[in-house]
Amino acid sequence: MKGGKSSNKTDAKLAVKKTSAKAKTAKDPNKPKRPASAFFVFMEEFRKKFKEENPGNKSVAAVGKAGGAKWKSMSVSEKAPYVAKAEKRKAEYEKNMTAYNKKQAAGGNGEDDSDKSKSEINNEEDDSDEEEDDD
């Protein structure tokens, strides 16, 4: 009897299709990306140094752990340049988001940009077809 009950529960679970809120809304490719935090600004530089010092290391986890340990050991004054860069990126992001939101409110949902990119892609495909026809 337990086997029958569990299969009914399994069938019921399979019948329910779950979708997340993110899956329902399509992302706008024209929307500005969020800026990196001070830690990730630091990691951009740290990765380069770490790879130079450890060329044989292919582990992403090792780089992340070493970077995290280094970040924790740094003083506030050592972190200051990265915090400043992150703040600068954040200000730029906020400016871009304001412009983006104004464009969205004005009804410019980026159709012009997407149509342009579609036509460029179609033109590239047409060019490749023409090259194949020349052979």
Report the Cα 45 to chain-centroid distance in Å.
Answer: 19
Residue 110 located in a structural domain? no
Question: Count of domains in the chain?
Answer: 1
> CB of 37 within 8 A of CB of 85?
no
Please tell me the predicted confidence (pLDDT) of residue 19. Answer: 60
**CATH classification at residue 83:** 1.10.30
pTM: 0.58
23-32, 34-43, 78-87, 123-132: range with lowest mean pLDDT:
123-132
Please tell me the predicted confidence (pLDDT) of residue 64. Answer: 94
Residue 52 located in a structural domain? yes
Which structural domain range is residue 62 located in? 38-104
- Tens-digit pLDDT profile for residues 33-77: 999 999 999 999 999 999 999 989 889 999 999 999 999 999 999
